[in-house]
Chain A
């Protein structure tokens, strides 16, 4: 979020808007999407650290979801890049610490560290891509619905929905506060004490708001249960989606498909 004045608009706005579109992927039951995505991530991350070739078939899952959902590429790519620093920072030490030469490509020595670094980048792309596609085709509301059905404690589901709802309201307020300070201070930096006053003021208003929200909820008969509009129903397509992909992940995990393909093509079998 940084120093930029984004007017309170965050990537979250973009993703929640994308989830309003309609496509075969959007129409899937959110529960099967969550289960399939988790299975995908576990399968991808269970390879050993030098695996690269066997990971390539896994690109099929995000690629198919992306194509079928007809989502725009730009916001997804922006979010993937924004998430990259930690994996990059930790991963780039692998070539530094692992010099063992394990192969040659066109006469150039390839060290194990570079292979494992490439593997980390590949896994990063796969896992982040799949998670983003899950959210961009589901949205917070339906995700929360699915979480409730997947036996996540109700208090926690309510908590997520609350944060999500007031994230935008308070985000706008905080952005306005920050803009006001920047405009009046002519480029002078804010110290920690001024920050305390701005953020503290926002906090106190927030707490009052919580009180009003609570009274309003009680007045409307809130009794601690979440009542979602609409119901989740598993259709045959959902079952096929989940079962099919989980089967595919199992095959991709157990059989090194690209190497088999390569051996077929180069005739190394004989």
Chain B
């Protein structure tokens, strides 16, 4: 469920970057005093372990497909929330950079979706609440599965919201939710079982490891109030960004049509979250067609949508121009490439 840059708008990407950076800085401050106790190499190898463990597969009974561990819940159970968040974030940075898995702009979204939810929601509110200090087999399994399911469901719905708020995909909210949530329910159960299998083995072979993790995490504790404040702040920021987008760019195409063809709207079914939000806003707003207008027009003014409306002249110009640009880019690249390969030994 790594989100790609190609589906994230700078507004959403920026808000999520800020949120993840904030949580990360908080975690770094929390972990720093523990460096002396060997927390750092522990976090490092635990992060690397998540990568490595993905090379060990198991077969999901009855399906023939194979599963592997995702890691968020396992890291939280082993390291406690702060160290786990940093470890997950570092894994995601490396995946974004070296495996092209998730993008740079989407990194904030991905860190939040896959790091914040397991470490700061599923771990304190589900896993630790259920498992307690020294859980039995069944209890440990249940809390790991439930924790993984909860964090993946939250993560998946965050993916849906972030994608829709970005307004690049046109998947309607309902369809997207129906697509994402059931898949991630299945993934969550499998990941939970895999996490439980590893934790059970660790509990059997070296019970003190798990006890230390719960204790270490428990001492630092998770300030539920701070978590709620972060979530509330984020909701407000997202809401503000969303409503701004919804009011200023109700729909890029609509505006393009209005400008080029003189028709504001084509008689077509209105779909997409932007429309939904726009209508919702129209209904709820105290002042319909209100504020931000001037700012909105400024924002739109520099946004010359070049896809041609059905007027032949501009359409041909756009296509011819794009083709020529492509040819120019290829020419420049070839020229530089030849010089480079000739120049280097």
Contacts and interface: CB of A to CB of B under 8 A. Distances in A.
Interface in B42-78: 42-49, 51-61, 66-69, 78
Nearest to B196: A196
Q: Which residue of B42, B52, B319, B332 has the most chain A CB atoms within 10 A of its CB atom?
A: B52
Contacts of B31: 155
Nearest to B38: A214
Given A153-B25, A160-B93, A104 B325 contact: no
A259 B321 contact: yes
B344 A199 contact: no
A256 B200 CA distance: 60
Q: Which residue of B35, B198, B332 has the most chain A CB atoms within 10 A of its CB atom?
A: B198
B229 to A, nearest CB: 21
A154 B31 CA distance: 11
B303 interface: yes
Nearest to B21: A152
Contact of B103 (A41, A93, A163, A177): A41
Nearest to A253: B302
B67 to A, nearest CB: 8
A166 B45 contact: yes
Q: Is the interface of A mostly helix, strand, loop or mixed?
A: helix
B44 A166 contact: yes
A51 B57 CA distance: 42
Given A202-B56, A213-B45, A196 B198 contact: yes
A135 B52 contact: no
A39 B131 CA distance: 45
Contacts of A99: 268
Contacts of B205: 200-201, 204
Given A22-B344, A66-B333, 9 more contacts: A91-B7, A102-B307, A127-B6, A178-B55, A191-B59, A195-B197, A200-B200, A200-B205, A258-B325
29 contacts: A8-B55, A10-B98, A23-B344, A45-B5, A67-B334, A68-B336, A68-B340, A79-B99, A82-B100, A87-B4, A103-B308, A131-B97, A132-B100, A162-B45, A167-B48, A170-B49, A171-B52, A174-B52, A174-B53, A177-B56, A191-B58, A193-B197, A203-B78, A206-B48, A210-B42, A253-B302, A262-B316, A262-B318, A266-B320
